[in-house]
Amino acid sequence: MADDPNAPQAIRKLQPGKLVIASHNPGKVREIRALLAPYGIEPVSAADLDLPEPEETGTTFIANAELKAMQAADLSGLPALADDSGLCVDALLGEPGIFSARWAGPDKDFDMAMGAVWQQVEAKGEGASRSAHFVCALALAWPDGHVEGFEGRVDGNLVWPPRGLNGFGYDAMFEPLGHDVTFGEMNPDAKYAMSHRADAFAKFVAAVF
């Protein structure tokens, strides 16, 4: 009997060895290195290889992650893992979303970005929701163009002023549901265990190892 053309494709397994982390963000690279540590993978960052940062022209998190992973795999000749993530604020109809990094400007000033988010939420009035969530999309690409995608999420609320010096990006203004500390105040290991990146990474690990 012929194969069903509509059947899902088998996910390609990742073998031990070098894997490019297709990011120039030291915080993301640090988190992903920690998450990969148990799996016999040798992470090397795009920055270490002097790979360029592609323009993120996708309209979704997963599209941008795939774009970054595929370019890094093509240029390096190695499998590459890319992350695209951001903060989605209910009161701002999901913004900054895929533009989370751009809100920080060319100097990656996330203090400025957090201030801009909070200012816009406050402009909605006292009754505006403080609910928000982080999304993380992971894409794993091979030099031959094969790519797999995984997405994770964590829900919480915005706080002001920002609290904590751990983490990066918008972590200091995000308090995950069920906790009374921000990601910026959390021990990194505690954050790694329950973040949007951990959620996406668990799906990635279950599929490719």
The DSSP line for 93-118 is TT-BGGGTTGGGTTTT-HHHHHHHHH
171 a catalytic residue: no
Tell me which residues of the chain have a pLDDT lower than 70. Answer: 1-10
Quickly count: other Cβ atoms within 10 Å of residue 132's Cβ: 24
Quickly count: other Cβ atoms within 10 Å of residue 12's Cβ: 15
Which domains, and CATH codes, for the chain?
17-208 (3.90.950.10)
Which residue among 84, 90, 109, 144 is the active-site one? 84
Contacting residues for 152 by C-beta, under 8 A, at least 6 apart: 135, 136, 138, 195, 196, 197, 198, 199, 200, 201, 202, 203
Find, among 24, 66, 69, the residue nearest to 49 by Cα.
Answer: 24
pLDDT for the residue numbered 24: 87
| Prediction pTM value | 0.87
pLDDT for the residue numbered 176: 98
Instruction: Report strand pairing: 17-21 vs 41-45.
Output: parallel
pLDDT for the residue numbered 103: 97
User: Which residue reads 């012929």 in tokens?
Assistant: 2
